[in-house]
Homo-oligomer: A and B are copies of this chain.
Amino acid sequence: MTETPASLTSTQLGAYFAFTEVSSLLRHAVEKQLRDVGDLSYVQFQLLARLGDSPHGQQRMTDLADGVVYSRSGLTYQAQLLDQRGLVTRAPSPDDERSTVISLTEAGRDVLAAVFPGHIEALHSLLFAALSDSDIDELARILGAAAAHLRAIPPRSAAPRRRSRPEA
């Protein structure tokens, strides 16, 4: 570490607060749109979208979970729900019997197609409408660098969790 100031500059604080605020508000607004149009939670949408972007509309559970920064057990739960709704199917991988491959169905693609335009429209009106083209360029560049940094720093931070005192 070169230096570790005890505080942040007001600009840094401002950037951080603005970031968290945009994050919260945008998330809520987008969530609402997804719920209203496709009866999807944000997580479910992310999962479907990621599948839609994958080679044969399919991915291994673990890869999918890592992709959306989500717990494996949580993914199992959501995959069940999506499976019940017929938006995805699950099958053991031919390569590795342990793996479950989750695949987007036609119905899944339909829901995705139904939700997408509104999703994009929401992003336009909520986020990009307030920004100039060059702002968006800058944002993409800066956040891209930040994302790369975050991805690289903690490859998979360990350290045991600790909720409350488990016991004396």
Which residues of A come within 8 Å of B, CB atoms?
1, 4-9, 11-12, 14-16, 18-19, 21-29, 32, 35-36, 39, 68-69, 117, 120-121, 123-131, 135-140, 142-151, 153-154, 157, 159, 161-164
**Chain B residues with CB below 8 A from A21, complex form:** 69, 147, 150-151
B15 touches A140 (CB 8 A): yes
Nearest 3 interchain pairs by C-beta: A130-B149, A18-B143, A15-B140
- Give A117 to B36 CA distance when docked, in angstroms: 41
Give the distance to chain B from A89, nearest Cβ to Cβ, in Å. Answer: 20
Q: How many chain copies does the complex carry?
A: 2
A137 touches B69 (CB 8 A): no
Main secondary structure of the interface of A (DSSP, over half): helix
A121 touches B4 (CB 8 A): yes
A15 touches B143 (CB 8 A): yes
B135 touches A142 (CB 8 A): yes
- Give A22 to B141 CA distance when docked, in angstroms: 13
Residue of B nearest to A2 (CB): B129
Give the distance to chain B from A60, nearest Cβ to Cβ, in Å. Answer: 20
B125 touches A18 (CB 8 A): no
**Chain B residues with CB below 8 A from A143, complex form:** 15, 18-19, 22, 139
**Chain B residues with CB below 8 A from A36, complex form:** 159, 162
